[in-house]
């Protein structure tokens, strides 16, 4: 068996060869819509007993990616995206860019300039978590958004893609291509095994609309997979071709709830673009008014109001609850509940003001309920 560090070096050499091959097409903006990313058969689809659904790509837009040799992980922060680049025998460079046009707002080098290669990226409570795959597999580095080093922990696995669901850190590992559910210091809570459907995980992201994971797969066909982790082995629900050129490698991916639906943003290692793909129609959540065995959010007596609106929810066990008001651009304007709540039925009132007691203008707002077990959103209209 090839030692892990040697396997990573071999992988890096392969990346470099692909880069040389792909450089001639580096500036091609290729909206690939075929049924596969190569002429090779979809061998990794035959092992599963449940056939996933091949879906049409709903490519909405693209924005310029920042400069660099290899573009890697991707995560969101409101109206912005974070992405970083790797450079051969160098350190990672992190960029904060605007979602709508790719304008670079901030950039910084990884604090330790020792040559290293990172791969996954997610944001947890305002901090950036990134996974290292060389030279020390399993390292998770935590940085603040100014580029200051916070801490490092090692998962004990060759972890790659990273995602955050509001409670748990999710990661993929390279040895068996499984998905790990962890706490924020790397303790593994559950392992969701691969049934052979995924050959090589790249970055992942958590879809809190469907409670699923979206993952880029860099093997045979370059594609994006929606994965259910309700059981082990995990189950692929649907997949579609990654929009990058066929000579590229799918890399960063992040899910974003926006005012008119749910979107994936994704990039390739060598592509000059970040693509925006629509995966859910409707508002921030398609589970409005839905029920969960431990929580209930709503109903709201009327979704149209002038001075105040009554909001109800129920929980059956003590847990952390957040109930916030958002503008259509995703900006939080009022925190109604934020803390540990005892079991019971509750009815709260929002008076149409922000956290500074200023009356908000008429328009559309979103009431967002979040607990450890359940998340949902209701759209309301404030009249004058």
Q: Burial, 163: exposed, middle or buried (Cβ in 10 Å; 0-12, 13-18, 19+)?
A: buried
Q: Where are the domains of the chain?
A: 4-281, 295-382
State the chain's mean pLDDT as an integer: 81
pLDDT band at 54 (very low <50, low <70, confident <90, very high): confident
Closest CA to 162 of 131, 197, 139, 133: 131
Q: How far apart are CA 101 and CA 64, in angstroms?
A: 7
Backbone φ, ψ for residue 21 (5° rounding): -65, -35
Same fold, 4-281 and 295-382: no
Q: Looking at residue 20, what is its pLDDT?
A: 39
CB 133 within 8 A of CB 96: no
More confident residue, 296 or 360: 360
The pLDDT assigned to 153 comes to: 95
pLDDT on residue 380? 80
- The CA–CA distances, whole Å, from 283 to 11, 53, 242, 365 equal 41, 24, 25, 11
Structure tokens at 324: 């916030």
- For 209, the 3-state DSSP assignment is coil
Taking the chain, what is the end-to-end CA distance rounded to the nearest angstrom? 69
pLDDT band at 231 (very low <50, low <70, confident <90, very high): confident
| Residue 215: closest CA among 27, 20, 346, 44 | 44
User: Is residue 13 very low, low, confident or very high in pLDDT (cuts 50, 70, 90)?
Assistant: very low
Upstream peptide bond of 146 is cis (omega within 30 degrees of 0): no
Q: Is the pLDDT of residue 83 over 90?
A: yes
Residue 374 has pLDDT above 60, yes or no: yes
- In angstroms, rounded to a whole number, what is the distance separating the alpha carbons of residues 84 and 75? 10
The Cα–Cα gap between 265 and 76 comes to: 9
Could you give the percent of the chain with pLDDT greater than 90? 47
pLDDT at 220: 61
pLDDT of residue 198: 85
Q: Which residues pair with 108 in a beta bridge?
A: 94
pLDDT band at 22 (very low <50, low <70, confident <90, very high): very low
Whether the predicted pLDDT of 17 surpasses 50: no
Task: Report the alpha-carbon distance of residue 130 to residue 94 in Å, rounded.
Answer: 10
pLDDT band at 28 (very low <50, low <70, confident <90, very high): very low
Q: Which pair of structure tokens corresponds to residue 178?
A: 């499984």
Q: Within a 10 A sphere around the Cβ of 274, how many other Cβ atoms?
A: 25
Chain mean position to CA 253: 6
Q: Is the pLDDT of residue 9 over 80?
A: no
Q: Considering only 30-39, 115-124, 269-278, 316-325, which range has the smallest mean pLDDT?
A: 30-39
- pLDDT(157) > 70: yes
Confidence band, pLDDT 50/70/90 cuts, at residue 364: confident
pLDDT tens-digit series, residues 297-351: 775 656 678 888 888 888 888 889 999 998 877 788 999 999 999 988 898 999 9
Q: What is the average per-residue pLDDT within 46-58?
A: 62
Residue 326 DSSP one-character state: E
| % of the chain with per-residue pLDDT over 70 | 80
Residue 11's pLDDT is 52
Q: What is the pLDDT of residue 267?
A: 95
Say which CATH architecture domain 4-281 belongs to: Beta Barrel (2.40)
Report for 2-11, 94-103, 192-201: range of highest mean pLDDT: 94-103
Give the model's pLDDT for residue 282: 60
The top-scoring range by mean pLDDT among 126-140, 195-209, 223-237, 272-286 is 126-140
295-382, superfamily in CATH?
Macroglobulin (MG2) domain (2.60.40.1930)
- Report which of residues 86 and 218 the model is more confident about: 86
pLDDT beyond 60 at 104: yes
pTM above 0.85, yes or no: no
47, pLDDT greater than 60: no
Phi first, then psi: give them for residue 289, nearest 5 degrees: 75, 10
Mean pLDDT confidence for 15-41: 33
Q: Is the pLDDT of residue 27 over 80?
A: no
**Per-state percent for the chain, helix, strand, coil, to nearest 5:** 5, 50, 40
pLDDT of residue 256: 93
Q: How many CA atoms lie within 13 A of 245 on its CB side?
A: 19
Distance CA 151, CA 186 (A): 12
CA 224 vs. chain centroid, Å, equals 12
């Amino acid at each position: 068996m090839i030692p892990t560090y040697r396997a990573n070096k071999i992988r890096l050499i392969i990346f470099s060869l692909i880069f040389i091959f792909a450089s001639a097409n580096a500036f091609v903006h290729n909206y690939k819509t075929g049924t596969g990313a190569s002429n090779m058969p979809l061998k990794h689809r035959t092992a599963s007993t449940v056939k996933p659904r091949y879906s049409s790509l709903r490519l909405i837009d693209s924005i310029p990616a920042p400069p660099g040799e290899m573009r890697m992980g991707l995560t969101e922060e409101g109206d912005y995206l974070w992405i970083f680049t790797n450079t051969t025998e160098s350190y990672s460079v992190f960029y904060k860019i605007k979602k709508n046009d790719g304008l670079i707002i901030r950039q910084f080098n990884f604090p330790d300039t020792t040559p290293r290669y990172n791969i996954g990226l997610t944001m947890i409570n305002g901090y950036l978590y990134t996974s290292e795959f060389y030279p020390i597999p399993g390292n998770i580095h935590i940085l603040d958004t100014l580029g200051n080093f916070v801490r490092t922990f090692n998962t004990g696995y060759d972890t790659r893609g990273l995602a955050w669901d509001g409670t748990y850190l999710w990661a993929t590992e390279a040895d068996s291509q499984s998905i790990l559910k962890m706490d924020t210091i790397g303790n593994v809570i559950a392992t969701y095994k691969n049934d052979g459907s995924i050959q090589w995980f790249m970055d992942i992201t958590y879809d809190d609309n469907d409670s699923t994971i979206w993952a880029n797969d860099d093997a045979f066909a370059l594609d994006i997979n929606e994965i259910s982790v309700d059981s082990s082995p995990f189950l692929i629900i649907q997949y579609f071709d990654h929009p990058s050129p066929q000579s590229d490698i799918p890399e960063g991916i992040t899910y974003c709830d926006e005012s008119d639906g749910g979107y994936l943003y994704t990039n390739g290692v060598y592509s000059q673009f970040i693509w925006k793909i629509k995966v859910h129609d409707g508002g921030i959540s398609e589970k409005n008014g839905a029920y969960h065995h431990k929580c209930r959010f709503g109903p709201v007596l009327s979704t149209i109001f002038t001075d105040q609106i009554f909001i109800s929810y129920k929980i059956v066990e003590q847990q952390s609850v957040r109930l916030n008001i958002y503008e259509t651009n995703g900006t939080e304007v009022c925190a109604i509940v934020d803390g540990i709540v005892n079991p019971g039925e509750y009815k709260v009132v929002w008076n149409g003001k922000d956290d500074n007691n200023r009356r908000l203008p008429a328009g559309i707002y979103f009431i967002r309920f979040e607990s450890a077990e359940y998340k949902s959103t209701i759209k309301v209209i404030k009249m004058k």
